[in-house]
Amino acid sequence: MIKILNQINFVWLSLGSNLNYPINQINNAIDKLRYIPYTKVIRYSSYYESIPLNNYSQPNYVNSVVILNTMLSLDSLFNFIKIIEYSQGRRYNCLRWSSRIIDLDILLFGNYVINTSKLTVPHYDMLNREFVIYPMIELDSSIKLPNGLVIKDSIKFLSNKRVLLLKKCNN
């Protein structure tokens, strides 16, 4: 069942892929986001190449961030995101940070702070991930997190600069 809210929320999503032509996987996911009801893709960042977390031996990732606005509840939007991942071949296994065809994570949902068994928003580790922070800053360096931190100020928390601009966006 789809739950619709009485307000529009801005949502920030992180997209990543390192299998099966990653740029195509990101493009496909962005295209599918456009078909989620009561939701509109506002902008998406350039594509960035990043080294896998924990230096696991696997291909580098391609990452992007998308801004949506939606009237869907967080749970309804989350369910649509999981359908997109599944439709592109994403299967979950018990190996954390393993290679993946596509990964979509909700970074921010309005100014809400949510911590449930299946979802934590803001994303629990976003401030430690260059492949999230740089695209967010590209889209809007003045965005404030629910805790009041301005995203551009989060760069000082990053330990390693392991991200390379891969493809400049023109949307």
Give catalytic residues, as residue numbers. 90, 100, 103, 105
Q: What string of DSSP letters covers 25-90?
A: HHHHHHHHHTTSTTEEEEEEPPEEEEPPGGG-SSPPEEEEEEEEEEEE-HHHHHHHHHHHHHHTT-
Q: How many residues does the chain have?
A: 171
One-letter amino acid at 141 equals: S
Cα end-to-end distance, the chain, whole Å:
32
**Token representation of residue 148:** 């009041």
CA distances from 170 to 74, 78, 132 (A): 29, 27, 19
